[in-house]
């Protein structure tokens, strides 16, 4: 966790340095070409740069706090959403320009996104859930064609697909094993869920989150003991916790609605 936060602060410092140097050069240029009576533009520039720096560090610190605590409350959720929409994509792009490891910032992005999604579904629990699993989770030596139907899995224990299939049956949700981003997008477009739980590597998760538009997505980063795209696995406990939380929220909402209906009926009787 500290690795991702350290990278976040490093990129924040780099952007701050670039912005400050650019501003300083601009100030010197303005001083040179404008007469003293018109130099009020410098005041506006200083104010603009100062506000920008405050926003960058304010959002970065809130992202760091939320990443450590795993929680967001009140106004902080808007700060996190601003970070997800503007700051973190910029940080990922800048990390690529500097030939750094984008996955550090991607992991932070996915974690912050999950916090924001978890907060937003408190009031509107989803009822039509789609789970997307990567084809690389299947044992490479397995002959079952599970991308068409997870029910074809023999559940031999050679990979985690069998455990996922059992979990899907228990929770009564739709789950598809997909071979790539295009298949995942087509599945989401066809099924039209109001919530997606996706398992993939950092790059594929971010790409998928961008492609599905406004559909809330919670991402679970896969585990890669054999490297990318070969016999990957996933923390099944994390999947179970997310689905259990969704079930509980939906149950609470259903009970609340039923309670309201009963109250209305009682009032009507009087």
Look at residue 78 and tell me if it is in a domain.
Answer: yes
What is the span of the domain harbouring residue 178? 124-249
**Which residues make Cβ contacts (< 8 Å) with residue 98, sequence separation at least 6?**
14
pTM: 0.85
Q: How far apart are CA 135 and CA 138, in angstroms?
A: 6
Lowest average pLDDT, out of 36-50, 92-106, 154-168, goes to 36-50
Asked whether residue 179 falls in the same domain as residue 228, the answer is yes
Is 46 part of a structural domain of the chain? yes
Q: What pLDDT was estimated at residue 121?
A: 84
Q: Which of these ranges, 36-40, 95-99, 127-131, has the smallest mean pLDDT?
A: 36-40
CATH of the domain at 131: 3.40.50
In 10 A of CB 186, how many CB atoms? 12
Based on the fold, state whether residues 74 and 101 are members of the same structural domain: yes
Assess if residue 264 is contained within a domain. no
Are 222 and 179 contained in the same domain? yes
């Amino acid at each position: 966790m500290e690795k991702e936060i350290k990278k976040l602060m490093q990129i924040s410092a780099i952007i701050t340095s670039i912005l400050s140097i650019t501003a300083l050069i601009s100030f010197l240029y303005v001083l040179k070409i404008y007469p003293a009576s018109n130099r009020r533009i410098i005041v506006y520039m200083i104010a603009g740069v100062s506000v920008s720096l405050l926003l960058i560090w304010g959002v970065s610190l809130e992202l760091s706090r939320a990443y450590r605590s795993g929680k967001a409350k009140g106004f902080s959720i808007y700060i996190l959403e601003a970070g997800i929409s503007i700051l973190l994509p910029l940080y990922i792009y800048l990390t690529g320009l500097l030939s750094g490891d984008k996955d550090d910032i991607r992991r932070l992005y996915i974690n912050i996104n999950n916090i924001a999604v978890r907060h937003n579904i408190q009031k509107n629990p989803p009822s039509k859930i789609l789970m997307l699993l990567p084809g690389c989770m299947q044992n490479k030596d397995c002959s079952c064609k599970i991308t068409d139907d997870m029910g074809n899995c023999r559940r031999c224990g050679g990979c985690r697909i069998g455990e996922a299939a059992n979990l899907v049956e228990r929770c009564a949700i739709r789950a598809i094993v997909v071979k790539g981003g295009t298949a995942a997008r087509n599945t989401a477009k066809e099924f039209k869920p109001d919530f997606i739980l996706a398992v993939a590597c950092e790059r594929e998760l971010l790409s998928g989150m961008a492609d599905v538009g406004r559909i809330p997505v919670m991402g679970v980063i896969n585990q890669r003991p054999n490297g990318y795209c070969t016999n990957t696995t996933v923390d099944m406990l994390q999947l179970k916790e997310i689905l259990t939380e969704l079930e509980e929220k939906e149950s609470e909402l259903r009970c609340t609605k039923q309670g309201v209906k009963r109250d209305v009926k009682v009032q009507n009787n009087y």
